[in-house]
Amino acid sequence: MNTGILYAALAYVAWGLFPLYFKQVADVPSLEVVMHRTLWSLAVVLGLLAVRRQWAWMASVVRQPRVLGAFALSAVLLSGNWLTYVWAVQNHHVVDASLGYFILPLVNVALGFVFLRERPRPGQWLAVAVAAAGVLWLAVQAGRLPWIALVLALTFGFYGLLRKVAVLGALEGLTLETLMLAPVAAVVLAWWSWQGQGALVQGDASTVGWLLLAGPMTAVPLLLFAAGARRIPMSTLGILQYISPSLQFALGLWVYHEAFQPARLVGFVLIWAALLVYSVEGWWTRQRMAVA
């Protein structure tokens, strides 16, 4: 349990700082960035498998259509989440993206309740209710359907659910997902390069270097997340998620100076209060169990 919390927390800190990276490749179209993330992430995980000589699982997975189908779905969800997030950061919607990841814990708790039959304690339900009020306030203040937030929350919520119940471990699962996405990415990037387009042809050495760095920067947090998701309840995973959007919100507001109406602060305060309620309730429950 404690190891799972550590893995998940480190993944969320890394994701919270991702806007710093994607601003470095802001001149590269978001779809192209996602394709580079896919290819170089695959290179990283294949390298890890080679070092560990961990290939036996591939033969058994090929003979299991249901497993292949589940990971094909998780690969689609992952790529959709990547594309939406990169586009949001590059188009000055870091704060809007943070809202999506504030909504995500509510999605995780709901998915855990519906699909995994997890039963949150009353204090945890209170935290979820307070967070839901904050998210509702933010949506009303925006005056429009927060499509960026909703797409990010739903795609990664279902991705997390699929990875939690997956038969493969973190490294093997990410390898299979990127193997499924890589052929499309490789063909498109090769076609663009042959046409004299794309960062590999037109970009300078710095841009290409940043794109190559997408491999380890993408693979490592995903491996940490997948390892953490398998060890802790979906409700706990959902609350830890607040680390990432809090960091994104801070970057969008104070580093990139995105527009933010003062009235929206009420929603964020409610969400942070929910995190406090959940943390105190969890600490109090552990203390009672220790005494008993």
The domain in which residue 11 lies consists of 2-291
Any idea what DSSP says for residue 251? I
How many structural domains are present in the chain? Answer: 1
In whole angstroms, give the CA distance from residue 12 to residue 29.
Answer: 25
> What DSSP string describes 83-110?
HHHHHHHHTT-HHHHHHHHHHHHHHHHH
What pLDDT does 114 receive? 85
What pLDDT does 152 receive? 95
* Backbone torsions φ then ψ of 243, nearest 5 degrees: -60, -50
What pLDDT does 198 receive? 92
Query: Which residue from 132, 133, 130 is spatially nearest to 110, judged by alpha carbons?
Result: 132
Length of the chain: 292
Start-to-end C-alpha separation, the chain: 20
What pLDDT does 189 receive? 96
What pLDDT does 150 receive? 87
The answer to whether 278 and 239 are in contact (CB under 8 A) is yes
* Residue bearing tokens 């591939």: 58
For the entire predicted model, the pTM comes to 0.86
What pLDDT does 238 receive? 66
- Any residues with CB less than 8 A from the CB of 33 and at least 6 apart, and which? 22, 25, 86, 211, 214
In whole angstroms, give the CA distance from residue 218 to residue 178.
Answer: 11
Query: How is residue 219 written in tokens?
Result: 């693979």
- pLDDT tens digits, 139-196: 788 777 788 988 999 999 999 899 888 888 888 998 999 999 999 999 999 999 999 9
Low-confidence ranges of the chain (pLDDT < 50): none
What pLDDT does 234 receive? 66
Name the strand (E) or helix (H) holding 273: helix 265-291
